[in-house]
Amino acid sequence: MKVIVQQESFAPGQVIQTFQDALPRGKHGGVVSFVGTMRDFNDGEDVVSMTLEHYPGMTEKHIEQVCAEAAERWDIVDSLVVHRYGEMFPNDAIVLVAVWSAHRANAFDACRFIINYLKARAPFWKCETTTAGEKRWVEHNSKDPKAEVSDSE
């Protein structure tokens, strides 16, 4: 289990491959991953960049909790989360969740669980800069971070 919260941009495929090359051989049959990408519009306006603020320490702690919970609930080989903070640009990868398992059903379930709970619980806040130079906080619907979450929103 590895959780990385970093400012630098990253190439999801490369990060997955490097992590996978270090896994014990022959134990996993596959990897399921989710990569979230920055869009270039939101609410009808063009967005030139986005700054992600986070709560250092609490962010890592909660993503690690979610990964540990996934490893308890499903039989998986390993998991990897990379999440950026700071300024980023359209089409940048924001978040990567990857889960390796012997049976793919577990990897699908665990990967989905991790990204859903990460989105509900990990303290990150998006602030967009529009082409008009306006900065605005992205406001989502209020959600209890302790509640059961889904990915239907």
Partner 1 sequence: MVNISIKYFASLRDRMGRADEALELDGDSATVSEVWAKVTDGQSIPDSTLISVNMEYTDADTVLKDGDELAFFPPVTGG
Question: Residue numbers of the site for its own copies (CB under 8 A)?
Answer: 11-14, 16-17, 20-21, 25-26, 28-37, 39-41, 90-91, 103-105, 107-108, 111-112, 115, 150-153
Residue among 25, 6, 1 at smallest CA distance from 80: 1
Query: Smallest distance, Å, CB 73 to its own copies?
Result: 15
In sequence order, which residues have a C-beta less than 8 Å from that of residue 69 and are 6 or more positions away? 113, 117
H or E segment to which residue 13 belongs: helix 12-21
Residues 25-64 as x/- pattern, contact with partner 1 by CB under 8 A? -----------x---------------xxxx-xxx-xx--
Residue whose CB is less far from its own copies, 26 or 133: 26
142 binds partner 1 (CB under 8 A): yes
- Tokens 């889904």 map to which residue? 150
Q: Which does 127 bind (CB under 5 to 8 A by kind): its own copies, partner 1, none?
A: partner 1
Cα(66)–Cα(148) distance, integer angstroms: 12
Encoded amino acid at 145, one letter: P
For residue 92, give the DSSP letter.
-
**Residues of this chain that bind partner 1 (CB under 8 A):** 36, 52-55, 57-59, 61-62, 83, 94-95, 115, 118-127, 137-143, 145-146
